[in-house]
Amino acid sequence: MISKETKIDLEKQGYRFTGKNSATKVCEWCKKALKSEEICYKGDFYGIQSWRCVQMSPTFACTHRCIFCWRNIEETDMINPKDLDSPKEIIDNCIKEHVKFLQGFGGNEKRNKTRYKEAQSPLHFAISLIGEPCLYPKLPELINEIKKRNMTSFVVTNGTQPEMLKKLLIHQPTQLYMTLPAPNKEVYDKTCNPLINDGWERINKSLSLLDKFDRSCIRLTLVKNVNMVYPEQYAELIKKTNPDFVELKAYMWVGHSRNRLEIDNMPYHHEIRAFAEKIVKKIGWKIIDEKPESRTVLMMKNDNQDRILKF
């Protein structure tokens, strides 16, 4: 799936491999939260405790080679059935590596002692680290195992696996995130360089399933002069799909994406906000929160106040 050189490079970046094709990484927001600094936007928007969140993925495989992706898309591949790890192994190893990585904070004078103690017992799995988790055939079992341990889960998908999403309707994560990478097929092909021929059609099938989930969110990762165009077309797709939330997030000029894009492709927060305002004007929603540090805006329907539930 990935070369030895790439594996070494990922380990240098803080990745910890938890099986043949799964990994975890402690995010910067978790580290900041342990020092009583900023928490991530998921904490601000939904109440996730950043210091108790495990960021992970059950597979490195993906159906896209998005130009805004931080990873080396030249190695993007589909999943090998022989490289599957069991859900229990993945969760056990992710928690083990997550807690092990945080041990250094035990001697950090800036640490929040209460949060550090709580971090030893994670409460949340963000299944969003790398790759497309819906390519992992045992994803429903993974979600069930997380539930058994009284933890919450966010599944982040690119929407190209609608058949797996149908299975997740029976085994639902706490919240389903779906990336909508473009307002139309032409922009999609240019932005995502898909490895499959019917990616846009699959994405639209997945969009039609979102309102059947208990909690769903569409995520727009916006790249200036690439897919940050046609807000009215995004608005039409959102209105038709009817998710609980929509998040607009600026592309960040990091990793391998710097070889494909320029720093000017990274929108400022005020530009993300302005783009969101164009969408809400079209569909009658409202902006309910934002985090300028992350260049992120959250919006929802006006009559959806009861959906703002904190985990």
Asked whether the CA dihedral 42, 183, 180, 61 is positive or negative, the reply is negative
pLDDT of residue 278: 98
Residue 306 has pLDDT above 90, yes or no: no
Q: How confident is the model at residue 308 (pLDDT cuts 50, 70, 90)?
A: low
- CA–centroid distance for 254 within its chain: 16
- How confident is the model over 169-220, as pLDDT tens digits? 999 999 999 999 999 999 999 999 999 999 999 999 999 999 999 999 999 9
DSSP 3-state of 292: helix
Q: Are 277 and 246 in contact (CB under 8 A)?
A: no
Contact call for residues 121 and 51 (beta carbons, < 8 A): no
Per-residue pLDDT at 81: 56
* Whole-number average pLDDT of the chain: 91
* Nearest of 167, 139, 163 to residue 153 by alpha carbon: 139
Residue 250, domain extent: 4-307
Predicted confidence at residue 31, as pLDDT, reads: 94
DSSP secondary structure letters along 168-214: HTTS--SEEEEE---SSHHHHHHHH--SSTTHHHHHHHHHTTGGGSS
Q: Specify whether the CB–CB gap between 87 and 16 falls below 8 A.
A: no
pLDDT for position 44: 84
DSSP 222-257: E-TTTTS--HHHHHHHHHHH--SEEEEEE----GGG
70: tokens are 């931080």
Please tell me the total count of domains within the chain: 1
pLDDT of the residue at 271: 98
For the chain, give the percent of residues with pLDDT over 90: 76
> What pLDDT, on a 0 to 100 scale, did the predictor assign at position 5?
79
Dist CA 253 CA 268 (whole Å): 12
Report the distance separating Cα 272 and Cα 292, nearest Å: 10
Confidence band of 70 (pLDDT split at 50, 70, 90): confident
The answer to whether the beta carbons of residues 187 and 210 sit under 8 Å apart is no
Distance CA 39, CA 33 (A): 5
**Tens-place pLDDT, residues 237-296:** 999 999 999 999 999 999 889 999 999 999 999 999 999 999 999 999 999 999 999 999
pTM across the whole model? 0.91
Give the domain CATH number at 28. 3.20.20.70
Q: Which residues contact 77 (CB under 8 A, 6 or more apart)?
A: 1, 60, 61, 62
